[in-house]
Structure 1
Amino acid sequence: MEDNAEDRSRALKTAQKVPFLEYPSSNTGGGRKRCLIYYITGNPGVVDFYIPFFTALRRLLDETEARAGCDRSFHIYSANLLGFDDADHDPFGSAPGTEPFVLEDQVRHCYDRLAQVNMADPASGQAEKKPFDEVILAGHSVGTYIAVELFHRHYLLRKAIRGGTAAAQSGGTVDGFANVNLKAGILLFATVTNIALSPSGKRMNNLRTSPFLNRNAHRIARRFLDLVPTGLLNFIVRRIVGHPPDAAAIVVRWLKSRDGLWQALHLGKDEMRAIAEENWSEDIWEIEEEAAAFDGGEDSVAKNAGPAEGAAETKTATATPGGEKFYIFFGRKDEWVAEKCRDEFISRRRQNQRGRTRIVIDEGNIPHDFCIKHSEEVAEKVKTWIDEIIAQ
């Protein structure tokens, strides 16, 4: 998608009203390094689905902060993707330029939002805004693709700045995203390559490639949902689908919203088009050699722990000092991941001798939508990886 100024302006205007959640640390003094954990949701991009996960992770990180010798404080932040709350945009289809948002819009939204949040830490205790000392970028499902794309754009931006071109192109002002100190990425149920070849992806792609369904699927779904009373829909989601009451209420609110389902379908179809063959440079999977010079710090020595409980682990070979850059968690039988493509992705990471990637394939049965019933299990894994990251 081309960088259309009108589309970008619309996304920026919309971003001001996007719902968000944050879970700050109560330990902000004593010279602790401030670490932002910026989390990108999957599709549907409704941040409330992840409240149990964030609550569990906050509790676990409080335990980490309470350990003797811990020099970090963690701030968890996450926001809706664009278009999933009716208050953050004009009604879709109400006028020219009011179509649902595509994947590129979501990437730009997260790019701008992260740069903004990075400079607006209310707990920094500084009269002048000061960026977080480090940022761990986490994502789920399509949020993993967005996260890797942000790492890619961050790498290109810093490379351009070192080459003296980025500031010149922006009239002498350096893009605020360059101030984000990306330390590591945590990718949960990663969908980063050829999603249309997965079992669920094939069904979504059929919807996209059928002219009639591509134009009308959201209308058909809307008409059906309008006929189902809210109470009955809640009963179906709770008793038949099996969601807990809180999750069921969020599902019903999303399905009954004016544009939420349309946005999810539209974004899903665009994911089938955009998340295809890998086109990122292998450099993004490596520890950036010049990052220390850019940040004024030094690369740390790797300290590697064993695999998360109930998981099979593979690590890429390493030839340079430093710890892991990416922790990637795949479901054992993920309907949104083609196993052949997943295995090829893992093989490519192994072939990169400078790569810094920890890949874990679940040996249990945690489903793709883990945030509905398995938040505690996944939070435990993420906490383990965060402990490893800060030990590097």
Structure 2
Amino acid sequence: MSPATTMIKEDAIPYLEFPSSNRSNPSRKQCLIFFITGNPGLASYYTPFLTHLRHLLNSLESNSNTAYHIYSRNLLGFSDLDHSPPFGTPIPSPSQTVTQPFTLEDQIQSLTSTLLSLNSPTPFSSIILIGHSVGAYMATEIFHRNHLSPSPSLPLTSGILLFPTLTHIARSPSGQKLSFIAATPLLNSYAHVAAKAIVNILPTYLLSSILSRIMKMPPHAASTTLSFLQSRDGIWQAIHMGKDEMSTITEEKWSQDLWQLSHDTTQQNGGEKFYFYFAKKDHWVADEVRDAFIARRKEDGRGRTRATICEEGLPHAFCIHHSETVAEKVGMWIEEITG
């Protein structure tokens, strides 16, 4: 995992967990709902979403033989405590380089390690991956790698991909802006420095006021954003990973059989293997890219996918104001998947 000189402190990665009271019930199937955040990768943005989903799954558990466990965690680098030394620390070598933030590949490897840890020593009957934004790409890539393994180590059943950035993210309106930063040498090297400098000159009370009164963020989003902006390395991590997304999330690279059910369908009870939920207008997903992706799924007669374009006008960052609305949809799809 790169950069090799940056040590990951797994025990210090912030996480959210909403376990089922029926985890130890041997008569129930055990299903893990593993949620992967977008960028910036702070799980606390999704506290209302996951809390409401827990409430919905409690009701579902009362009428089923499945126990549902919800887990989410920060992506690497968004907590100053989860890595050492700080980004930008000089590396003693002739190359005169410094430690760098984590890449998209680092995040995928780390999330896979967390999944393997959660699935041991008592394995789950099934695992549903939910990903938001770039988290949807990471969820799909984890599915892909597990699918290619001769002996899959994770019982992955379905993926629910919310406002997914799966191909050609650089063609989106926001992607074009980030690509411009990456292509401009001065901005590429110092955008995070400038952004952090601006944040540092603003007193906390003024920054809080901007977030809550001007940007109209609810308390959970305002406090999470404030923590992110005032962290030592968070802004650098977000921009660094965003630039990596521009060069990594390009052409669709997954084979058609990823979207199809395997021969062993004992864990599938009529639901789809993948659910895609797209915004009608999304500044991180170009309309033509979204439409082409959906068209390819429709052409695959054996694929078990369902793509929905939101007609309610929900924004890409649904976790700020629309958590309950999206949780209701996700709860419905989980019910379909698990029967």
TM-score (norm 2): 0.94
Gaps of 5+ in 1: 120-128, 162-177, 293-297, 303-322
CA RMSD, 1 decimal: 1.5
Question: Is 1:71 the equivalent of 2:71?
Answer: no
Aligned AA (2:158): A
SS of match in other structure, 1:360: strand
Aligned residue among 136, 145, 149 for 1:153? 145
Q: Does structure 2 retain, via aligned residues, the 8 Å contact 1:193–1:277?
A: yes
Contact 2:131–2:161 (CA<8 Å) still a contact in 1? Answer: yes
Q: 1:71, 1:387 → 2: CA distance?
A: 12
For 1:371 and 1:193, how far apart are their aligned partners in 2?
22
Is 2:244 the partner of 1:243? no
Corresponding residue SS for 2:123: coil
**Residue 92 (1) aligns with residue 92 (2):** no
Partners of 2:60 and 2:90 in 1: how far apart? 50
Q: 1:83 corresponds to which residue? A: 77
Amino acid corresponding to residue 264 of structure 1 in structure 2:
A
Counterparts of 1:196 and 1:377, CA distance in 2: 28
> AA paired with 1:136?
I
Q: Distance in 1 between matches of 2:101 and 2:153?
A: 30
Q: Structure 1 residues 77, 342: CA separation in 2 closer, same or farther (over 3 Å shift)?
A: same
Instruction: Give CA deviations for 1:102-129 in whole Å, capped at 9, x if unaligned.
Output: 111111111111111111xxxxxxxxx2
Partners of 2:224 and 2:138 lie apart in 1 by 23
Is the 8 Å Cα contact of residues 49 and 250 (structure 1) preserved in structure 2?
Answer: yes
CA contact (8 A) 1:49 1:372 kept: yes
Task: Note if 1:56 corresponds to 2:52.
Answer: yes
User: How far 1:7 moved relative to its partner?
Assistant: 4.2
Q: Is this contact kept in 2: 1:18–1:88, CA < 8 A?
A: yes
Deviation at 1:130, TM superposition (A): 1.8
1:262 aligns with 2:236: yes
Equivalent in the alignment of 2:118 = 117
Match of 1:278 in 2: 252
CA contact (8 A) 1:131 1:179 kept: no
Amino acid at match of 1:349: R
Structure 2 partner of 1:187: 161
**8 Å CA contact retained: 1:8, 1:105:** no
Spell out, residue by residue over 1:164-213, the C-alpha distance to the aligned partner (whole angstroms, 9 max, x if none): xxxxxxxxxxxxxx331001000000100000000111111111111110
Task: Give the paired residue count.
Answer: 331
Q: Output aligned runs, 1:338-353, within 5 Å.
A: 338-353=286-301
Instruction: State percent identity of aligned pairs.
Output: 48
Q: C-alpha distance in 1, partners of 2:160/2:4?
A: 27
Q: Any runs of at least 4 consecutive aligned residues in structure 1 with deviations exceeding 6 A, and if so which?
A: none
Partner of 1:165: none
The DSSP-based 3-state class of the residue aligned with 1:81 is coil
Confirm or deny that 1:140 pairs with 2:132. Answer: yes
**1:331 aligned partner:** 279
Distance 2:235 2:126 in 1: 35
Residue identity opposite 2:67 in structure 1: S
Cα pair 1:14 1:82 within 8 Å, conserved: no
Distance (Å, rounded) in 1 between the aligned partners of 2:166 and 2:178: 16
The secondary structure found in structure 1 opposite 2:236 is: helix
Return the alpha-carbon distance in structure 2 between the equivalents of residues 202 and 327 of structure 1: 27
1:84 and 1:374 mapped to 2: Cα distance? 23
Question: Shift of residue 375 of structure 1?
Answer: 0.5
Q: Which runs of 5+ in 2 are unaligned?
A: 92-97
3-state secondary structure, aligned to 2:284 = coil
1:139–1:186 Cα contact (<8 Å) kept? yes
The SS at the match of 1:86 is: coil
Give the superposition deviation at 1:8: 6.6
Matched residue SS, 2:298: helix
Match of 1:131 among 123, 126, 140: 123
